């Protein structure tokens, strides 16, 4: 079986970002290419892990991440 995830480089790592889907701002902690395959369908998604002001991390699509101004 192949790896379940792989860390990816991103230009905004450790910088303040905003999730355009939720409007929440925080620090981009990691970008991960995660295997979400089922028994019949192979699929990978790129997830951004953002740490909000509360200290809790949440995920969103990498496409939703923009630099916070």
Give the whole-angstrom CA distance, residue 64 versus residue 61. 5
Give the whole-angstrom CA distance, residue 59 versus residue 32. 10
* Domains along the sequence of the chain with CATH: 5-67 (2.30.30)
pLDDT in single tens digits along all 69 residues of the chain: 457 889 999 999 999 999 999 999 999 999 999 998 999 998 999 999 999 999 999 999 999 999 998
Give the pLDDT of residue 69.
Answer: 81
pTM for this prediction: 0.87
Residue 28 buriedness (CB in 10 A; 0-12 / 13-18 / 19+): buried
Give the pLDDT of residue 1.
Answer: 44
């Amino acid at each position: 079986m192949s790896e379940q995830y792989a860390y990816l480089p991103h230009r905004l790592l450790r910088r303040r970002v905003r999730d355009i889907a939720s409007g929440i701002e925080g620090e981009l902690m990691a970008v991960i290419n995660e295997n979400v395959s089922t028994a019949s369908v192979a699929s990978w998604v790129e997830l951004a892990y953002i740490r909000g002001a509360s200290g809790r991390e949440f995920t969103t699509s990498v496409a939703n991440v923009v630099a916070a101004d």
